[in-house]
Structure 1
Amino acid sequence: MYIFEMEKLQAGDIILTAQTGFISKTVRLSTLSKFSHAILYVGGGSFIHSDIQGVHSNNIQRLLFEEKNHVEVRRIVDASYVANAIMFARSQIGISYSVQEAVRTKYPLYKGKKLNRQFCSRLVAQSFEYAGIKLVSNPDYCTPKELQKSPLVNMVAGCLRVAEDHEIEFSNSYSPLQRQTEVTNAILEAVRELTGQDIQSFDDLDQFVIKNPVYDQRITDIVKSSGYLIMFDYELTQNPWRYDGEIFLALNFESSYKRERAQLELESAVNQVKRYSHNYQMCQNIRGRFSLRYFEMKMELYKKLIIQMNKRIDAMRYVIANT
């Protein structure tokens, strides 16, 4: 099995993949392409994509491939667009997947109404279009093949290596991010049922609460009862080594691997502190203008996450200094 060499990847890379399953084969045949799926790498070991569960994030180390030719990495020629593309992709988390919209890529002249849904290549193309660069002629209805052939991206070679046994074991273990996807989807479904509105993401939800404060308490209660606010507790239980340098150093791995992994974890934690701090500030500004419990709740969550990410930074710096 093959796994990504994370040091070879950069935030904003477009990852095109093919699998051996029926759906993948069907997509490849219908689009005359080697690839059936498109993923946006957002740095720090994380990626965002749209699949049957909707738009969500995951850990790049959970992706394994049977053959090297099942993967191709493409990098945008102008990195100045990457940050805003990633920001847009994050804003889409939670939006439902649409088979109907994906099928319409076979009809490039389609002029009907676009649904507020996502599929893999649309998400990637729209992210860069939002950032100001149009990778394909029609970002709303495009295929992985069109992203691959875009003149505005270059191929990046040598991004895969043979996976070690412990990496295969990790890839096949339960992911806390899977629980996050399930809880996010459950919250949005419950809110849609409550309001009768097509609320597809937390960005949609934020705007709805501002405009419809009568729903503030009920939506706050939905989020609280979902377990969303305590999901990070599971991460702490499952991966204590990320937050305690002594536990990390005691793991049975080579010192070189520990140092390499700690550097990647440090990069991820620093980026997350920046993102959580930005989100906290946004919620604080909104809370200052509108007396809404929903945003007060989100502020409390981001404050907790910032504290934990700073613990992770301290732990990783300790490991780097002692390996």
Structure 2
Amino acid sequence: MPTSKIKARGFDVDRVQLGDIVLTTTRKFQSRVIQVGVGADISHAMLCVGHGSVIDSTPEGVQARNLARIVIEAGCSAYVLRPSKPLSAGQVNTVIAYARGHVGARYSIGNALKSLGLKVSPGRRQFCSRLVAQAYESAGVYLSQSPAFCTPGDLLRCELLEPVLDAVFELSPEQEAARRKADPVQEMRDATNALLKSARKIAPCIESLNDIDVHLIEHPQNDARMVEAIHASGYLELWRTQVANTPWHYDVNQLIAHHVLESAAQDYCADVVEEEVRNPSHFAPMRAAYMRYHMAYPLEYFSLQVELYTTLAKNHAQRLRVAITLLERKGVLTAEYTPPVLPHTLKWYLSLADWDPRLSLRVAQAVQAAGENTAICTMCTKEPTRDYIAITPPPAGPGTYRLCDECYARHATEEPLELIPAS
């Protein structure tokens, strides 16, 4: 059902998968003009990058949005499209990474209009359907003969895509009113745009957040100015608002008290766990990436990003831990025993590199310098040592250490540990 002349509608986020393409329009004059130009009843394209999360390009720039907040006005069309030949997990990750990598890039009205006719040099700015087509192109899937000038109509008519049935439903007046309330994701968009506005005063060539990293690597003398810009934007403090607004995400007792219906709390927790399985959090990999940047280029901007993603990864892990705890209490989720990864093994190094590449490299070098002696302490290289595991697993990495008594006493005050049985 592409349109409804009577009621507003919304997207069923449980029917929309990673990599799906969402097409919409509005009753605004500009949207009507685009519909005529593209020869279709839609004017805008978005890409699903998480459960209920989409990325698109609008005059605000390339930004993330909450699909569950979008209201399709009565009389307007909407579609969810999915490749008829399913993408591999690697392709989906590539598509999503491309879209995330362009967050903040400015919108190009000129290129959006040129996509309707004259094909000229595309430039680095984005418009909605180009972003989607180029994201797919990065994974080796061509949704248009010219991805740089792909239109929403091209996507709708693409033979490689098929519609997802029942992805749109009619909203009750109460549901519509709830969706039209202030969107908390707007704070992220505002902070991102504020950061990029300041960054472009330093380097006009910057389009996306990723461009800031590249610029600082090439121009480290601008580190202090970029640090000032990110502090002034509020970008580093957004997580505090999220925690303050939803404290029940991080405490199982508050979670139970927050939901009037016990089943609602259980459904929420099931969604959190299912989403982690379908789309693992990118906070820990981002932390590791910025740690590698900081190892090669010891700039304060990269250090601030490490601190930010450390906090985000820990908050996400706590939210997941709370959801799992409640489901285990209800008997609908049974924890499976996984043997701990023994310290200073190849698997341990690789796992630790996903959370703390600096420590992983340092221990590997120390073991090698000690004549391949893996019995040395993870932290100080002394002996004798014993193997420990964190009582509360970290957001990523093995969570195990080989420690001397002195380092155990010091480390255990920050992260409770217990001995790994010798067997």
Alignment pair present for 1:22 and 2:22: no
Q: Which amino acid aligns with 1:103?
A: L
The count of aligned residue pairs is 320
Match among 170, 186, 189 for residue 181 of structure 1? 189
Match among 135, 138, 141 for residue 133 of structure 1? 141
Alignment pair present for 1:313 and 2:288: no
Alignment pair present for 1:39 and 2:46: yes
Q: Which amino acid aligns with 2:116?
A: K
Superposed counterparts of 1:3-152, under 5 Å? 3-67=10-74, 70-76=77-83, 77-80=85-88, 81-107=91-117, 110=119, 112-152=120-160
In the aligned structure 1, how far is the partner of 2:52 from the partner of 2:18? 9
Alignment pair present for 1:191 and 2:199: yes
In the aligned structure 2, how far is the partner of 1:302 from the partner of 1:271? 21
In structure 2, the CA distance between the partners of 1:29 and 1:322, relative to structure 1 (3 Å rule), is farther
Does the CA contact (< 8 Å) of 2:122 and 2:149 recur in 1? no
- Cα displacement (A) at 1:285: 1.0
Deviations 1:33-65 (A, max 9, x none): 111111101122211111110100011110122
In the aligned structure 1, how far is the partner of 2:278 from the partner of 2:244? 22
- Cα displacement (A) at 1:188: 1.0
In the aligned structure 1, how far is the partner of 2:183 from the partner of 2:24? 20
- Cα displacement (A) at 1:315: 2.3
Q: Which amino acid aligns with 2:283?
A: Y
Higher relative contact order (CA 8 A, sep 6+): 1
In structure 2, the CA distance between the partners of 1:232 and 1:276, relative to structure 1 (3 Å rule), is same
Does the CA contact (< 8 Å) of 2:38 and 2:154 recur in 1? no
In structure 2, the CA distance between the partners of 1:314 and 1:72, relative to structure 1 (3 Å rule), is same
Between 1:137-146 and 1:70-79, the stretch displaced more is 70-79
In structure 2, the CA distance between the partners of 1:285 and 1:124, relative to structure 1 (3 Å rule), is same
Between 1:85-94 and 1:216-225, the stretch displaced more is 216-225
Partner residue, 2:247: 240
3-state DSSP of counterpart to 1:122 = helix
Partner residue, 2:282: 275
**Bigger radius of gyration among the two:** 2
Does the CA contact (< 8 Å) of 1:176 and 1:234 recur in 2? no
- Cα displacement (A) at 1:15: 0.7
In structure 2, the CA distance between the partners of 1:2 and 1:253, relative to structure 1 (3 Å rule), is farther
In the aligned structure 2, how far is the partner of 1:215 from the partner of 1:71? 45
Instruction: Give the structure-2-normalised TM-score.
Output: 0.71
Does the CA contact (< 8 Å) of 1:2 and 1:68 recur in 2? no
In structure 2, the CA distance between the partners of 1:174 and 1:270, relative to structure 1 (3 Å rule), is farther
Alignment pair present for 1:293 and 2:300: yes
- Cα displacement (A) at 1:90: 0.2
Q: Which amino acid aligns with 2:15?
A: K
In the aligned structure 1, how far is the partner of 2:75 from the partner of 2:15? 15
The structure with the greater share of residues assigned to helix is: 1
CA RMSD of aligned residues (A): 2.1
In the aligned structure 2, how far is the partner of 1:68 from the partner of 1:250? 40
In structure 2, the CA distance between the partners of 1:52 and 1:268, relative to structure 1 (3 Å rule), is farther
